Amino acid sequence: MNSIRKRLMRWLLIGQLLAVVLSGTITFFYVRGEIEDLFDDRLRQLAYSIPTHGNFVPTEQLPLTEVQNDDDDFVIQIWQDDGTMLLHRNRSEGTPALAPEGFSNHFHDAMLWRSFVLRRGDKLVQASQPFSDRLEVSTSVALRAIVPIVTLIFILGILVRISVNYGLSPLNTLTKALEKIRPYSLEPLSSKGLPDEVIPLVLVLNDLLTRLDTALHSQRKFVADAAHELRTPLAAVQLQTQLLQKVSDADERQQALLQIRAGTARATHLVQQLLTLARLEPEDLQRPFASTDLSALIKSVVSEQAQAAMARQIDLGVSEDQPIAINADAESLRVMLSNLIDNALRYTPPGGQVDVAVRHLGWAVQLEVVDNGPGIPAAERKKVFDRFYRRPGTNTNGSGLGLAIVQEVVTRHHGKIALTTAKSGHGLQITITLPLPP
């Protein structure tokens, strides 16, 4: 389990453990060195405190209180230059050999000694200590010195656990707040009392919740509008079906069949448009862009719509054609062009004209669909991109989704769409600008 809490505690404890071990090791050797320096000072003091005047025999005991009361592990010896020992104090600790002048470590009788030898005239005063004794004492004192440091490890472990739990508590609070959010009540999260590091996350989550709430609201509205729009043609079909069952006149029966066919066609067209919008939803916009011959695509769509144009006695053609290849989603561009031309054909009266043009602007590609129909008043040109919006008084059959689909495709390609009056002064001109990569 990839837990931030466990990861923080693990690395903090490892770091503190290494720091404590390093500090304890340094303290141990430092304290032991200081104790050994104190022992060396004691050896020097003993050597300087012993008088060397008078006559000595090897068995004579010094009448010095400070020497007689000395620690038992110190050995005092006085030597002549020829190596004769004149005095030996605390013989029970051992008999070290004569060492060089000053401080030295030396072996004698399988025992390591630490000695200090001081020359006093023709005599040598030697103060010695078994190295094992001084090592035992210095190590014992050093170990006692690092006991608080070892104890500190456990204290730090408890503090780290408390600190990590306290530091991550805002995440627990945020998690509980997220658990309370419901799909139909996407209230923004409160950032009050949260640390600075968590606030950016809350802001991003709030932005996501806002966009999600907008998307859900749009989806609910879309479903409600779709249900309302489907109800009308289906109700008409049902009514005409009931009427067909009752009438016996051939002309009335034929008229009812025509009404049923018209209602079925309208419902079919609406369902097709709904499916097209569903395919353009964000989760389905993962098709990669590819090089697309825009000129060939336009000719193909115009050819597909030619029969519908002839049936309405409308002159449909390509007025300007420049060979251009762009990086785009060819399928969604085909849907966009089909809806633009279909809308133009629906609103252009018989004998009218619909022209499609494509031109290269250097930094972008411009598509134009121009008709000589009734056009769209300037006040309504923004509303026509709303789903299911149809201009009041319009008698042309339609779903109100065509331009909404066009807007989705243009947005995906980071383009712009503009509705203006045709240059002839009568009709509608739709201009789409699609940027080219630098």
**Which band of pLDDT confidence, cut at 50, 70 and 90, is reported for residue 116?**
very high
**pLDDT above 60 for 412:** yes
Residues 362, 219 within the same domain: no
User: Could you please report the per-residue DSSP string of 120-173?
Assistant: ETTEEEEEEEEHHHHHHHHHHHHHHHHHHHHHHHHHHHHHHHHHHHHHTHHHHH
The pLDDT score that the predictor gives to residue 396 is 59
pLDDT of 225 higher than 80: no
Sign of the torsion angle spanned by Cα atoms 384, 390, 391, 392: negative
Whether 333 and 427 map to the same domain: the answer is yes
Last residue of a domain, one of 130, 160, 190: 160
Side-chain-side CA neighbours of 361 within 13 Å: the count stands at: 15
* 343 closest CA partner among 419, 263, 239: 419
Establish if 107 belongs to a structural domain. Answer: yes
Cβ(279)–Cβ(409) below 8 Å = no
Question: Does any domain span residue 173?
Answer: no
Local confidence band at 230 (pLDDT 50, 70, 90 cut-offs): low
Q: Does the residue 148 lie in any domain? A: yes
- Using 50, 70 and 90 to split pLDDT, how confident is the model at 53? low
CATH of the domain at 368: 3.30.565.10
Tell me the per-residue pLDDT of 274-318, one tens digit each, with 9 for 90 and over: 666 666 655 444 567 888 888 888 888 888 888 888 888 988 888
The range of the structural domain enclosing residue 270 comes to 199-279
Domain of 104, CATH number, reads: 3.30.450
- Mark whether 270 and 320 lie in a shared domain: no
Q: Is residue 130 part of a domain?
A: yes
Q: What is the pTM of this model?
A: 0.49
**Is 84 contained in some domain?**
yes
What CATH number is associated with residue 270?
1.10.287.130
pLDDT of residue 102: 92
Which residue type is seen at 325? Answer: A
| 431 and 320 housed in the same domain | yes
Contact between 52 and 60 under an 8 Å Cβ cutoff? The reply is no
> Percent of the chain, pLDDT > 70?
79
Q: So what's the pLDDT on residue 117?
A: 92
Q: Are 303 and 328 part of one and the same domain?
A: yes
Q: Is residue 179 part of a domain?
A: no
Q: Are residues 126 and 203 in the same domain?
A: no
In a shared domain, residues 419 and 331: yes
For the chain, how many structural domains are there in total? Answer: 3
216 & 362 share domain: no
Residues 15 and 139 in one domain: yes
Q: Per-residue pLDDT averaged across 389-415, rounded?
A: 73
Question: Can you give the pLDDT at residue 67?
Answer: 38
Per-residue pLDDT at 59: 40
Instruction: Write out pLDDT tens, residues 149-175.
Output: 878 888 888 888 888 888 778 777 777
